[in-house]
Amino acid sequence: MSRKCAVTGKSRQVGYRVSHANNKKKRVFNVNLRVFRITLEDGSTHKIKIAASTLRTLRKTSK
């Protein structure tokens, strides 16, 4: 499985690590993925990868 959120499609971003002398070096911002077990209507369970920010939003809206 790829490092991508199953709900929103968020994936890694590329940026620069910038020093005080303004030297730039490529770096990667990875997504904060969590494995979440979801139960479907037929009773079966599946594990999906969800970003932590998405999971937080889903829990806020389900209340």
**pLDDT for the residue numbered 63:** 74
Give the domains, in start order, of the chain with CATH numbers.
13-61 (2.30.170.40)
Dihedral (CA of 31, 4, 33, 1) sign: negative
- Give long-range contacts, CB 8 A cutoff, 24+ apart: 23-28: none
Q: Quick check: 61 pLDDT over 80?
A: yes
pTM score, two decimals? 0.74
Q: Give the pLDDT confidence score for residue 12 in this predicted structure.
A: 94
Q: Which pLDDT belongs to residue 48?
A: 94
Whether residue 1 has pLDDT greater than 70 = no
pLDDT tens sequence across 6-28? 999 999 999 999 999 999 999 99
**What is the rounded average pLDDT of the residues 37-51?**
93
